[in-house]
Structure 1
Amino acid sequence: MSQAEAEAVLSGLDDEQRTAAQAVSGPVCILAGAGTGKTRTITHRIAYGVHTGTYVPEQVLAVTFTARAAGELRSRLAGLGVGGVQARTFHAAAMRQLRYFAPRVLGGPMPSLIENKLRVVASAATRNRLTTDRTSLRDLASEIEWAKTTLATPEDYAARAKAAGRDTPFEPAAVAAVYESYESAKQRDGSLDFEDLLLVTAYALEEHQDVARQVRAQYRHFVVDEYQDVNPLQQRLLDAWLGGRAELCVVGDPNQTIYSFTGANPDYLLGFADRYPDAEVVKLERDYRSTPQVVGLANKLIGMAPRRKGLPGLRLLGQRPEGAEPRFAEYPDEPAEAAAVAARCRALIDEGLPAAEIAVLFRINAQSEVYENALAAAGVPYVLKGGERFFERPEVREAVLLLRGAAAGGNDPGMLVPAVRDVLASTGWAEHRPPPGGAARDRWQSLAALVDLAVDLVAENPSLDLAGFVTHLAERADQQHAPTVQGVTLASMHAAKGLEWDVVFVVGLVEGVLPIAQSFSKPDAVEEERRLLYVAITRAREQLTLSWSLSRNPGGRRSRPRSQFLTGLAPESGPTAPPARRPAKRPKVVLEGEAGELFERLRTWRSQAAQSASVPAYVVFTDATLQAIAESRPANLRELAGLPGIGAKKLELYGEDVLAAVSG
């Protein structure tokens, strides 16, 4: 390795990035704010370590949270002349090790892996006489995942869930019973789930010294990306890999901690310097993504959060030229808000902005429907992120098979794009005739994305042929690296993390949605909602609009307060959010007067709702809950959520109907 190669790796880095890249001996903590070049920094750090002879590439393990991010790390390292580094997700790394050591640790071959928990969870729920639908099954599966990632057992789940303030789909004791049945079923079948991959691999390293020696001899340097999202199970595996060593570099942003509900624990990042007193801590704060105006708004929002113990905070410094001020907009109802966003998207596309450079971000997936309808009505193509994976779509799978068959027959280099177009035309796809909105248009856009990808690849490598294109598609499928589909992106704020667009609309910013209603009684949860808005804001490169509507439906009561997080950010107009509070439970009394009339009105509504859903009336709401509603007469979703017996799901199902009954 030459010093010239090592110095070349550092060229183009700013001072802080260079400092981080040169810190090749651990422990090292890189606090990397949004848009500060985190991936660039850690890949150049690994490359610098290799080129200076500090690292042997095969002895470096870089772990992250998505296959796409791991693929991006490998791709960038290859561009820096470094091959052999293992860049994988936690699960992929554990799978690889456990498959190799299974005969030694488990006494036989690698057990089968449960790809989807729902079938096993459904059987476990049935054995415990729980009536479930698909939604409650998903909630049960998520609760079991939370338990396993936080290292809770069926025996201590109920106490742990209560201490954590979990909003459980059934009584904690019932969830614990399903959890125990689920584990027993896996054991009988000899199968593992994704959490078991990590748990059993950690156990193998902790209890089998020969396995630990072999793995620790193989991997001597560790890099963990998105360290603020690590959960206790992942940390246990990381500790087992390290075996008391400190050759560890972690990278994270405390301001982007948004996955605590899944078991992620930011304390591992915030307390890193306490755990490793000699750690080198480097802050990356120069934001190369967003305009100073967007950066300023993000800083202002996060600056209102209470100071957390641990590592120092981050304040972004915008590096781009000046841009437009963020816009704030209030609308009478959700359809009006969606129509205005769709009209603005249409205007931007007509002005020449690619649709793929626009995003509409919302707090919950249920908010997407009104925007799908509005965009379709405006003739704006859109892509719903979080739906079916690109390479798993039927039309894409069919196209890849046809392309592979065509490649086997040979083709001329330099003719890739016409060849791809010809193959897709055989499926009925016509390049310049996109069909109307709906499933047909989604199919057309998927195939158009393959053509666009071929065009981009030929621009980089004019000699690429069809066989090379098919190989490239296979690599992308393995990495879940979908090509860009030309459409406005509709995504939840969680799904938007790690992505960026020129223009971003952050919509539906009302109390009870952001912050979400179930967070009202938990200050830590409310602050996580603030960080979620911070993530949404920092997705925008150039233009940012934040909006809210006063009513869900046209003609409805315009009583929804805008999000408390907009106080101090947006102009002081329109309704403001009342302080978060949870009314105390009231003793049962005989209701008279208006309260009594409202109570009977609510009982009548409940009977109709129960009959419609084919469930007993008490499943909708108990009399005690109706009594609390009649006594307090909540004026909005926030106040309604504060009453006993009103959980997040019931708020979503019945909240607007209850408010309508209260208002008469």
Structure 2
Amino acid sequence: MDLAHDLDPEQRAAVTAPRGPVCVLAGAGTGKTRTITYRIAHLVNSGHVSASAVLAVTFTARAAGEMRARLRKLGVEGAQALTFHAAALRQLRYFWPRVVGGPPWQLLESKLRLVGRAAHQVGVDTDAEMLRDLAGELEWAKASLIVPDEYPAAVTRSGRATPEPPERVAEVYRVYEKLKVEERALDFDDLLLQTTAALEENVDVAEEFRDRYRCFVVDEYQDVTPLQQRLLDAWLGDRDDLTVVGDANQTIYSFGGASPRHLLNFTRRYPHAQVIRLVRDYRSTPQVVALANKVIGAARHRPPGSRLRLVGQRPDGPQPRFAEYDDEHAEAAAVAARIRELIETGVPVNEIAVLFRVNAQSEAYEQALSEAGIPYLVRGGERFFARTEVREAMAVLRTAAAAEEEPAGTLPDVVRGLLAKVGLTSEPPAGGASKQRWDSLMALVELAEEFAADAAEPTLRRYVGELEQRAAAQHAPTVHGVTLASLHAAKGLEWDAVFLVGLCEGTLPIQHADDDQAAIEEERRLLYVGVTRAREHLSLSWSLSRKPGGRRSRRRSRFLYGLVPEDHPAARVAQRGRGERPQCRVCAKVLTDVADVKVGRCSSCPSNVDPELLAALKEWRSDKARELKVPAYVVFTDATLMAIAEKQPTDDSELVSISGIGATKLERYGADVLAAVRKHTADA
């Protein structure tokens, strides 16, 4: 099979590179999945490696499933394409009798139950939010190869904010690990740890694995954690038959231990590695690509390996839209109305997405879409394969596949006939729960159609095997409806039309990132990821108030500076008496540094801070943090207090003009802060 004619020159160079270390720096929309799968097919077809000796790993079940489907189309059916955790689980189950013995330990679907028991023993609050935060800390520590005794020092080095004092979190971590051993249970992080240990500590196990797998491909390499890199090293041994693909501009999981340094330092580890850059964007229109380049081009301290400037390859499309609204309700209603317009012009409903920074923003859009009669689905909601109708359908399909004779007819027709037994009709119901059930069953039929088109032998038995594999990996088929998702959950996906909503200071960038330049840059990369999800239609919006009739005190995200066209109505100065670009109040220079924006002046300009007022504000903040049982920075950061002590605001409008103080902070703390300033002024 001649694959080269379907590729551009850079893709072709990556596909045809000889075996050995290859690093592909692939910008968003540049065809990295095609490049990966074509490279595997090229290596197999040219006799460099057998398909069964290839292990390709990525970070999501959906990406692994798409890779398997594309390899199947290329006639490569024996290669393994899995997530890190799925690959480790298979290997650990296989080697368990040899390295541990006895029955395999139970795999925990969720660690929250044991985290709760550990927290209770240590005397830490066990409310749901605290348990989620503690679980996140344990996951970060294990992904970073940090044991309980090392956790406090590691937190200090990283400057990481913790839900409890580091020593207390370390004790929860210690007790959690003890409880797991007592219950003979493993969490998902243990899959990687135990598999790594099995390979590192057992020569015969390592030799058997390395004899089986000889060629490795890693997708989204910018997101590997130290633990995943260590497992990859154990897989490789002293070999270098490794292809990695990634984009440092899409590093958005640092909070979980991910780091682009392995991608950016690849040539230091493998000096003879080939490096290929993919910059031709086939996903988005030139208008979307131009905006994406502006977003990431404003990033500071970008390492050389991340300086990819995308070049749009599609025909022209509409310019991105920007809109400012009075409140969140108005913003959601306008988005729903625009979605209705797009659907009426022919954009499929499942090719539209609404993306936001935090999941709590979803509610307003669920309500607005419901009122407009537009179907939607929330990524991260109920798992597809856990739905009642899907479980029933799977049972019927399994039974039929287990029969001695294959049912007559094409695979899609066979599946349709079988699913009629669990309620699939030829025409969809009008709406409601019955329509959602019908959509789920039709998704299985459509998956059968895809499988029949791609597989060499599309039998029912093989189709059910594909479903079982998808169910184990939670790789759900597409269900019709507007997608509502967080920006993190949208990574790796794309739509014809994308709405980026709620782009306000305090939300994007998120409030707790404000005092950390590295965290701010990750928030900028999150916006970049959101922009690059859109193929043609892109809308960016924000609202000035949370509720109808509320104070219009919010400011749009700093990342929108320079993006909103100068002649756009939203580019006009809002009712806060401030220009579009923040300026130093001493020398009037435009401010770009996060810390300078926060205090409202250049770091080199003299401060007029009142030390007594600053001390009084810090004392008030400590009291408030103790009262609310939260870290002090959650109330106000040091930089925000410094800005308050310098500016000494006298009313709400002056207070919200300070970076870091939005509507929520004003509502919670505004009266206290203004009272403290007035008292100090009177005393002085």
In which range does the TM-score fall when normalised by the shorter chain? 0.7 to 0.9
**1:133-148 to 2 correspondence within 5 Å?**
133-148=127-142
Corresponding residue for residue 14 of structure 1: 8
2:83 counterpart (81, 89, 92): 89
The one-letter amino acid paired with 1:329 is A
Corresponding residue for residue 416 of structure 2: 420
Do the aligned residues in 2 keep the contact of 1:29 with 1:280 (CA within 8 Å)? yes
Q: Tell me whether 1:207 sits opposite 2:201 in the alignment.
A: yes
The one-letter amino acid paired with 2:501 is V
Q: Structure 1 pair 444/50, CA: closer, same or farther in 2 (3 Å)? A: closer
Do the aligned residues in 2 keep the contact of 1:29 with 1:279 (CA within 8 Å)? yes
Corresponding residue for residue 77 of structure 1: 71
1:166 counterpart (160, 173, 178): 160
The one-letter amino acid paired with 1:539 is R
The one-letter amino acid paired with 1:658 is Y
Q: Tell me the TM-score normalised to structure 1 length.
A: 0.86
Q: Deviations along 1:147-182, whole A, 9 cap, x unmatched?
A: 000011111111212322222222211111100000
The one-letter amino acid paired with 1:496 is A
Corresponding residue for residue 493 of structure 2: 499
Q: Provide the rounded CA distance (Å) in 1 between the counterparts of 2:636 and 2:32.
A: 51
Instruction: Tell me the secondary structure at the aligned position of residue 305 of structure 2.
Output: coil
Q: Structure 1 pair 441/336, CA: closer, same or farther in 2 (3 Å)? A: farther
The one-letter amino acid paired with 1:215 is F
Q: Structure 1 pair 195/471, CA: closer, same or farther in 2 (3 Å)? A: closer
Instruction: Tell me the secondary structure at the aligned position of residue 29 of structure 1.
Output: strand
Q: Structure 1 pair 388/626, CA: closer, same or farther in 2 (3 Å)? A: closer
Moved more, 355-364 or 46-55: 46-55
Q: Deviations along 1:43-99, whole A, 9 cap, x unmatched?
A: 111111112221122222211112232222222222222232222221222222222
1:525 counterpart (511, 519, 526): 519
Q: Tell me whether 1:560 sits opposite 2:559 in the alignment.
A: no
Q: Structure 1 pair 348/389, CA: closer, same or farther in 2 (3 Å)? A: same
**1:225-236 to 2 correspondence within 5 Å?**
225-236=219-230
Q: Tell me whether 1:485 sits opposite 2:479 in the alignment.
A: yes
Q: Deviations along 1:380-424, whole A, 9 cap, x unmatched?
A: 111111112211112322233345557779865259559737845
The one-letter amino acid paired with 1:37 is G
Corresponding residue for residue 335 of structure 1: 329
Q: Provide the rounded CA distance (Å) in 2 between the counterparts of 1:97 and 1:375.
A: 44
Q: Provide the rounded CA distance (Å) in 1 between the counterparts of 2:286 and 2:402.
A: 52
Supply the RMSD in Å over aligned alpha carbons: 3.5
Shift in Å, 1:330: 0.8
Corresponding residue for residue 588 of structure 2: none
Q: Provide the rounded CA distance (Å) in 1 between the counterparts of 2:309 and 2:162.
A: 36
1:619 counterpart (615, 619, 629): 629
Corresponding residue for residue 538 of structure 1: 532
Q: Provide the rounded CA distance (Å) in 1 between the counterparts of 2:553 and 2:328.
A: 13
Do the aligned residues in 2 keep the contact of 1:413 with 1:464 (CA within 8 Å)? no
Instruction: Tell me the secondary structure at the aligned position of residue 6 of structure 2.
Output: coil
1:283 counterpart (277, 282, 306): 277
Q: Structure 1 pair 400/434, CA: closer, same or farther in 2 (3 Å)? A: farther
Shift in Å, 1:541: 0.6
Corresponding residue for residue 431 of structure 2: 435
Shift in Å, 1:26: 1.6
Corresponding residue for residue 153 of structure 1: 147
The one-letter amino acid paired with 1:413 is G
Do the aligned residues in 2 keep the contact of 1:416 with 1:465 (CA within 8 Å)? no
The one-letter amino acid paired with 1:348 is L
Moved more, 9-18 or 258-267: 9-18
2:247 counterpart (246, 253, 260): 253
Q: Tell me whether 1:188 sits opposite 2:182 in the alignment.
A: yes
Q: Deviations along 1:355-389, whole A, 9 cap, x unmatched?
A: 10111111110001011111111111111111122
Q: Tell me the TM-score normalised to structure 2 length.
A: 0.84
Moved more, 582-591 or 229-238: 582-591
Q: Deviations along 1:202-234, whole A, 9 cap, x unmatched?
A: 222222222222222222221111000000000
Q: Structure 1 pair 388/654, CA: closer, same or farther in 2 (3 Å)? A: farther
Instruction: Tell me the secondary structure at the aligned position of residue 387 of structure 1.
Output: coil
Do the aligned residues in 2 keep the contact of 1:148 with 1:233 (CA within 8 Å)? yes
Q: Structure 1 pair 209/222, CA: closer, same or farther in 2 (3 Å)? A: same
Corresponding residue for residue 375 of structure 2: 381
The one-letter amino acid paired with 2:669 is V
Q: Tell me whether 1:28 sits opposite 2:27 in the alignment.
A: no
Do the aligned residues in 2 keep the contact of 1:520 with 1:642 (CA within 8 Å)? yes
Corresponding residue for residue 266 of structure 1: 260
Instruction: Tell me the secondary structure at the aligned position of residue 496 of structure 1.
Output: coil
Q: Provide the rounded CA distance (Å) in 2 between the counterparts of 1:54 and 1:146.
A: 38
Q: Provide the rounded CA distance (Å) in 1 between the counterparts of 2:610 and 2:217.
A: 50
Corresponding residue for residue 58 of structure 1: 52
Instruction: Tell me the secondary structure at the aligned position of residue 390 of structure 2.
Output: helix
Shift in Å, 1:284: 0.7
**1:104-119 to 2 correspondence within 5 Å?**
104-119=98-113
Q: Provide the rounded CA distance (Å) in 2 between the counterparts of 1:346 and 1:511.
A: 28
Corresponding residue for residue 347 of structure 1: 341
Q: Provide the rounded CA distance (Å) in 2 between the counterparts of 1:221 and 1:377.
A: 52
Q: Provide the rounded CA distance (Å) in 2 between the counterparts of 1:517 and 1:636.
A: 19
Shift in Å, 1:519: 0.8
Corresponding residue for residue 658 of structure 1: 669
Q: Provide the rounded CA distance (Å) in 1 between the counterparts of 2:614 and 2:519.
A: 33
The one-letter amino acid paired with 1:345 is I
1:123 counterpart (98, 101, 117): 117
The one-letter amino acid paired with 2:541 is S
Q: Return 5+ residue gaps in structure 1 as ranges.
A: 611-615, 644-650
Q: Provide the rounded CA distance (Å) in 2 between the counterparts of 1:506 and 1:524.
A: 22
Q: Structure 1 pair 638/251, CA: closer, same or farther in 2 (3 Å)? A: farther
Q: Provide the rounded CA distance (Å) in 1 between the counterparts of 2:184 and 2:557.
A: 49
Do the aligned residues in 2 keep the contact of 1:363 with 1:514 (CA within 8 Å)? yes
The one-letter amino acid paired with 2:75 is G
Q: Deviations along 1:594-649, whole A, 9 cap, x unmatched?
A: x9xxx89x99xx8xxx9xxxxx9453798996999897668699888859xxxxxx
The one-letter amino acid paired with 1:545 is S
1:98 counterpart (92, 95, 105): 92
Q: Structure 1 pair 492/639, CA: closer, same or farther in 2 (3 Å)? A: farther
Q: Provide the rounded CA distance (Å) in 2 between the counterparts of 1:75 and 1:239.
A: 27
Q: Deviations along 1:474-531, whole A, 9 cap, x unmatched?
A: 3443443322222111111111111111111111101110011111111011011111
**1:581-600 to 2 correspondence within 5 Å?**
581=595
Shift in Å, 1:192: 1.8
Moved more, 509-518 or 449-458: 449-458
Corresponding residue for residue 573 of structure 1: 572
Q: Structure 1 pair 590/422, CA: closer, same or farther in 2 (3 Å)? A: closer
Q: Provide the rounded CA distance (Å) in 2 between the counterparts of 1:371 and 1:659.
A: 29
Q: Provide the rounded CA distance (Å) in 2 between the counterparts of 1:376 and 1:66.
A: 29
Do the aligned residues in 2 keep the contact of 1:511 with 1:638 (CA within 8 Å)? no
The one-letter amino acid paired with 2:123 is R
Q: Structure 1 pair 242/455, CA: closer, same or farther in 2 (3 Å)? A: closer
